[in-house]
A and B are shown apart, each in its own frame.
Chain A
Amino acid sequence: MKEISLTIDGNKVRGHEGDTVLDVCRENGIDVPTLCEMKGLTNVGACRMCVVDIEGERRINPSCTYPARDGLVVHTKTEKIEKYRRLILELMFTEKNHYCMYCEKSGDCELQSMGYRYQMDNVRYPYTSPATKVDSLSEYMAVDHGRCILCGRCVRVCGEIEANHTLDFAKRGFNTVVSADLAQSLGASSCTQCGACLQACPTGAIFSKLSMYKVKPSECQEVKTVCPICGVGCELRVLVKDNNMVMIEAPQLTSDKGPLCRMGRFGLLADGHKRITSPMIRDKEGKLKECTLDEAVEAAGSRMKKLGKNFTGVVSSRLPSETLSVFCQFMKQAVGSKSVDTMGGEAFRVIAEGTKAFNKKSEGPEIACSIEEILKADCILLVGADPLKTHPIVASLIRRAVDRNKARLIVIDPQNDVMSIWRYQWLKPRAGSGAILLNGLMNVILAKGLVKGKEAPAKLTQSLSEYNPKRVQSDTDVDAADLEMAAETFGKAKHAVIVYGQGVWHTRNSALVTDLLNLADLTGNRDGDRLRIVSLKPAANSRGAWNLGAAAKDLSQAHVQGMYLLISDEQVDSDEVLGWLRTIDFLVVQASYRSAVTSMADVVIPSPIWAERDGGQYTSLDGHVAKSYRVIEPKKVLLQDQEILRELSKKMGHELSSDQEVSCGQT
C-alpha cells in the first residue's frame, strides 16, 4: 500500500492509502474520542464524536469516514473542535433517557466516560424525554431503548459479523429506534442470542440478564480459555470476581469466530442444574446414599476388578485430552477393560470408515479443511447438519459467506428445512436415500464435464453411471431438475465447501462420507491434500478423543455388564442412550450434575464442571489445538477427574504413571 504523509496537530505523520483520518490518528497514537466506531466494523460516522478540522473543508468532518490523503492538514484538538464534541455529547444525553445512578453499565459505560472526559457537568438543551421501551423478553438479554445513542454498533455487528440481520434501525429522525426484525421483541425475533450486540453496546442499552448488577467488569479478573462445548474452538474471556463467573466475552468480537454463540456466551453461565456434592452408593434398599470418597472407591473398585474385561468405559469428549488419556490408561491398565468409547463415538466410526474407503489405504488422518474456508466459499453444501443448533458459529460463517460472497447454500436434509432463509436450494431425499442422491450429484457433474483437477477414476465413473437423474428422482423423491441445478451450482463453483454433521453419522452409513469426499475431490475443491470438507463433530474435544483412539469400538451393540461413565458436565438426554444404560448391571457415573443418568447409577462420584477443571488440551473439529485453563477454584468438588481415577486405580492395586500419554486403541 502506498504511504502517504499528513500533518496532524502540527506534526508530520505517515499513513497508508485507503486509511481514514481516524486510522492515521490511531496508528500514530493521536487520541480521538469515538463512540460508534468499532474495530472490524464498517465506519458510519453516526456519533460525530471523532470530528476534526481539516484545512480546506468548509465544515468540521468525522475523521472515521474521511479518507486520508497525501498533504492533508488536520486539527484534532482545537478549542472549536472540543466545543463541538461537548455539544454533541450534550445532545446525546438529551435525546434519550440516560440515568446513570441505576444503570447496570455505570462505571463501565463509554458514553459516561465521555461525559466525564468532557467535564459535562450540566446540559444546556431541553431534554426530549421520549417514552422509550424496555424489552426484557429475550432469554439472556434485555434492551433499554432509553439508553441507546443510536451508534449502530449492535446493528453492524449483527449484520456484518453474526450476519443474521436481526437488528436494524426503524423509523426516522428523533423517533429512530433499534428494532429487532419488524418491531418484534428480541425474544420473539430471529435473534440467535449470540450476544455480540451486547458486547458491542457502548452504553447500558443492551445488557445481560445473567451478569447485570453483579460487579463491574473492571473489578474482575480475566481468564482466557477455550470453549468446552461444540468443537469450533472459540476463545472465551471469562470475567471472574471472588471465584464467581460474572460474564463471558469474546476476546476479539469481530474476528472470524468472534461473535461467540448463545451456548458459549450465556449457556455456560446459566447453570440451573443441581450439582453433585458428594459421592453416593446404592444401599441394600436400592437407594442412592451419600458416602465418603473411600467408600465409593471401595464399592466401585472391587466390582470393576471382578468384571475386568467385561467392564467398559465411556467418556465425554468435552474433557481435555489429558483427562481422556488418564481415563484410557485407567480402563486398560487398572480395570483390564478391552474397550473404551466416547459419547458420540459413532461419528468417529462413520467418518473413519468413510475416509478409509476413500483413501483405500490404511487409516490416515481425517481429511478436513479449516472452518474459516467457509468464509471464502461461493458455494456451500450442507449435508445432514443443523449448525444453528449444534455449531452456531459455523452457521454464522455460512451466513457471512452468503452475505459477502453471494455464496449459494445447498442443503441436503431428509427432514428439516435448515437455514431456510439463507439457502439457495433444499434437496429433500427420502430417508435413507442420501447416498443415491450424492451419487446422482456426481453423475450429473461427470455428465456435464464439470470435473476439475485430475481425471475421475475409471472405477468411480463406472459405478456412478447408473445414478442418472431419472433413477435418482424415483429413488430419492428429489426432482431431476433440482438435482441438475444443484450439481451445476456445486460443480461450477470456484470455492465450494462441504459441511456435514449428525444426520450423516446417525445413519451409521459410512458410504455417505466416502461419497462426500469423492464429490469434493471430483470438483477439485482442495488445497494441497486438504479437501474442502468439514464435519461438525459432536463435542469440543471429539477430535482429540478420536486421536487417542477412544472411540474405536461400538459398545452399544454388545452386551455390557459394567460401565464406568465419565460424563462430567455433559448432559445425556438421548432416549436411545438412556435405554441402553438401563440394561447395564453395574454402572459407575462420574458427573457434575444430578440427572437421569446419575439416578440409575450404582456408584456416583462428583466431577468438576468445565470452569473448575484443570487446564488441558483441546483439538477443535478442524484440528486446531488450543489450551484450556482453570477459571475458578472447584467449589463443590472433592478432586479433579483424573485424580479420582488415580485414587481408584491405587485402590485397585495399580499406580498410574503421571506423564505417559496412552492411546486408547484396542489391544
Chain B
Amino acid sequence: MAKPKIATAWLAGCAGCHMSFLDIDEKILDVVKLVEITASPITDFKHFEQVDVGIVEGTVNTTKDEEVLRDLRAHCKILMAWGDCACFGGIVAMRNQFDKADCLRRGYIETESTVHGKIPSSDEIPKLLDKAKPANHVVKVDCFVPGCPPDASHIYYALVELLNGRIPVLPANMMRFD
C-alpha cells in the first residue's frame, strides 16, 4: 500500500506550530516512514497535489491565505488545524478589535522606525481581509490541535490517531490554549 500523503500550509502566523512539529525530534523518522510529506512551507510548492491529510497553521488574514486554504481543502480528504491561530484566530485576530484602515496605517506609516511610509497597493500583493478568521470560519475543518504552539507530543498524538484511522479529538488533559 502506498504511504498516505500529507501537505502542510502556513497562513498568517509565526510558524511556531511547524517548529513544534519538528520538535517531535527523532520521532519524525517514524512519521516519515509511515507518511509522505508533499507540500510544506519548506518545499514552497505553489499548489497542492491530492493528499490524504492537509494541515493548516495560521490565521486566514489575507486574500492569499484564503486562496491557499481553499486550495488545500480541495486537495485533501481530512483537514487538520494546528495552533490557536488556525483553531480560534489567535494573536493575529487581535487586529479585529481595530479598524482595518487603522491597522494598515499604524503598521506601514506610523511605526516608530518608518520614514515616508506607504500602504502597499500593488495588485501583485495580497489584500488584507476585513477580519482575520480561524480556518473553520472559511472552510470545513475536520480536527483541531489547539495550543500556542501546540505541544510536539500533542501533534504526534493527533498524527498517530489519524494513521490509525481515527479522527483525533484531544483529551481534556492535552488541551492547551497557550
CB nearest to B169 among chain A residues: A119
**Interface contact A103-B88, CB-CB below 8 Å:** no
A146-B178 contact in complex given A119-B170, A122-B134, A124-B136, C-beta closer than 8 Å: no
**Interface contact B141-A146, CB-CB below 8 Å:** no
**Interface contact A146-B97, CB-CB below 8 Å:** yes
Instruction: Give the residue among A99, A120, A131 with the most B Cβ atoms within 10 A.
Output: A99
CB nearest to A93 among chain B residues: B88
CB nearest to A123 among chain B residues: B88
A119-B96 contact in complex given A93-B88, A101-B91, A126-B137, C-beta closer than 8 Å: no
Please tell me if B175 contacts chain A, counting CB pairs below 8 Å. Answer: yes
Which residues in B have their C-beta under 8 angstroms from that of A129?
Answer: 93, 96-97, 131
**Interface contact B84-A100, CB-CB below 8 Å:** yes
Please tell me if B58 contacts chain A, counting CB pairs below 8 Å. Answer: no
CB distance from B97 to the nearest CB of A (A): 5
Please tell me if A199 contacts chain B, counting CB pairs below 8 Å. Answer: no
* Cβ < 8 Å to B, chain A residues 28-80: none
Instruction: Give the residue among B94, B145, B177 with the most A Cβ atoms within 10 A.
Output: B177
Instruction: Give the residue among B84, B137, B141, B173 with the most A Cβ atoms within 10 A.
Output: B137
CB distance from B113 to the nearest CB of A (A): 22
CB distance from B176 to the nearest CB of A (A): 8
* Cβ < 8 Å to A, chain B residues 85-116: 87-91, 93-94, 96-98
CB nearest to A124 among chain B residues: B136
Which residues in B have their C-beta under 8 angstroms from that of A101?
Answer: 84, 90-91, 148, 177-178
**Interface contact B87-A122, CB-CB below 8 Å:** yes
Please tell me if A159 contacts chain B, counting CB pairs below 8 Å. Answer: no
Please tell me if A117 contacts chain B, counting CB pairs below 8 Å. Answer: yes
Report which of A102, A107, A115, A130 forms a contact with B91, defined as CB distance below 8 A.
A102
Question: How far is it, in angstroms, between the C-alpha of A118 and the C-alpha of B148 when the chains are bound?
Answer: 18
CB distance from B14 to the nearest CB of A (A): 10
**Interface contact B91-A99, CB-CB below 8 Å:** yes
Report which of B97, B136, B141 forms a contact with A131, defined as CB distance below 8 A.
B97
CB distance from B15 to the nearest CB of A (A): 15
A115-B175 contact in complex given A93-B88, A129-B93, A129-B96, C-beta closer than 8 Å: yes
CB distance from B73 to the nearest CB of A (A): 15
Report which of B94, B136, B169, B178 forms a contact with A100, defined as CB distance below 8 A.
B178
Count CB-based A-B contacts (< 8 Å).
Answer: 72
Interface string of B110-136 (1 = CB under 8 A from A): 000000000000000000000100101
Which residues in B have their C-beta under 8 angstroms from that of A317?
Answer: none
Report which of A107, A122, A131 forms a contact with B88, defined as CB distance below 8 A.
A122
A interface secondary structure, majority: loop
B interface secondary structure, majority: mixed
Report which of A99, A117, A124 forms a contact with B172, defined as CB distance below 8 A.
A117
Instruction: Give the residue among B84, B97, B134 with the most A Cβ atoms within 10 A.
Output: B97
Question: How far is it, in angstroms, between the C-alpha of A289 and the C-alpha of B177 when the chains are bound?
Answer: 55
Question: How far is it, in angstroms, between the C-alpha of A106 and the C-alpha of B90 when the chains are bound?
Answer: 14
CB distance from B154 to the nearest CB of A (A): 11
Question: How far is it, in angstroms, between the C-alpha of A97 and the C-alpha of B95 when the chains are bound?
Answer: 10
Please tell me if A255 contacts chain B, counting CB pairs below 8 Å. Answer: no
**Interface contact B89-A127, CB-CB below 8 Å:** yes
**Interface contact A122-B141, CB-CB below 8 Å:** yes
Question: How far is it, in angstroms, between the C-alpha of A116 and the C-alpha of B172 when the chains are bound?
Answer: 5
Which residues in A have their C-beta under 8 angstroms from that of B87?
Answer: 121-122
**Interface contact A119-B131, CB-CB below 8 Å:** no
Which residues in A have their C-beta under 8 angstroms from that of B98?
Answer: 131
Please tell me if B144 contacts chain A, counting CB pairs below 8 Å. Answer: yes
Please tell me if A132 contacts chain B, counting CB pairs below 8 Å. Answer: yes
Interface string of A564-595 (1 = CB under 8 A from B): 00000000000000000000000000000000
**Interface contact A130-B97, CB-CB below 8 Å:** yes
Question: How far is it, in angstroms, between the C-alpha of A107 and the C-alpha of B148 when the chains are bound?
Answer: 13
Instruction: Give the residue among B81, B143, B171, B172 with the most A Cβ atoms within 10 A.
Output: B172
Report which of A115, A119, A127 forms a contact with B93, defined as CB distance below 8 A.
A127
**Interface contact A116-B88, CB-CB below 8 Å:** no
Please tell me if B54 contacts chain A, counting CB pairs below 8 Å. Answer: no
**Interface contact B172-A97, CB-CB below 8 Å:** no
**Interface contact A121-B94, CB-CB below 8 Å:** no
Which residues in B have their C-beta under 8 angstroms from that of A112?
Answer: 177-178
Report which of B97, B131, B175 forms a contact with A97, defined as CB distance below 8 A.
B97
Which residues in A have their C-beta under 8 angstroms from that of B131?
Answer: 127, 129
**Interface contact A119-B88, CB-CB below 8 Å:** no
Interface string of B45-87 (1 = CB under 8 A from A): 0000000000000000000000000000000000001001001
Interface string of A116-157 (1 = CB under 8 A from B): 111111111011011110000000000000100000000000
CB distance from A458 to the nearest CB of B (A): 76
**Interface contact A119-B97, CB-CB below 8 Å:** no
**Interface contact B134-A97, CB-CB below 8 Å:** no
Question: How far is it, in angstroms, between the C-alpha of A443 and the C-alpha of B116 when the chains are bound?
Answer: 83
Question: How far is it, in angstroms, between the C-alpha of A109 and the C-alpha of B177 when the chains are bound?
Answer: 11
Instruction: Give the residue among B89, B98, B143 with the most A Cβ atoms within 10 A.
Output: B89
CB distance from B9 to the nearest CB of A (A): 17
CB nearest to B149 among chain A residues: A101
CB distance from B150 to the nearest CB of A (A): 10
Which residues in B have their C-beta under 8 angstroms from that of A122?
Answer: 81, 87-88, 134, 136, 141, 144, 146
CB distance from B55 to the nearest CB of A (A): 14
Question: How far is it, in angstroms, between the C-alpha of A102 and the C-alpha of B171 when the chains are bound?
Answer: 23
CB nearest to B99 among chain A residues: A131
**Interface contact A97-B94, CB-CB below 8 Å:** yes
Question: How far is it, in angstroms, between the C-alpha of A99 and the C-alpha of B89 when the chains are bound?
Answer: 9
**Interface contact A103-B178, CB-CB below 8 Å:** yes
CB distance from B85 to the nearest CB of A (A): 10
Supply 8 A–B pairs (Cβ within 8 Å), ascending by A.
Answer: A93-B88, A99-B91, A100-B148, A101-B177, A106-B177, A116-B175, A129-B131, A131-B98
Additional A-B contacts beyond A100-B148, A122-B136 (20; CB < 8 A): A93-B88, A97-B94, A97-B97, A100-B84, A100-B177, A101-B90, A101-B177, A102-B91, A103-B178, A106-B178, A112-B177, A116-B172, A116-B176, A121-B87, A121-B169, A121-B170, A122-B81, A122-B146, A124-B136, A131-B97
Question: Contact residues of B with A, CB < 8 Å?
Answer: 81, 84, 87-91, 93-94, 96-98, 131, 134, 136-137, 141, 143-146, 148, 169-173, 175-178
Question: Contact residues of A with B, CB < 8 Å?
Answer: 93, 97, 99-103, 106-107, 112, 115-124, 126-127, 129-132, 146
The 8 A-B pairs of least Cβ separation, nearest first, read: A129-B96, A100-B177, A121-B144, A116-B175, A101-B148, A100-B178, A106-B178, A101-B178
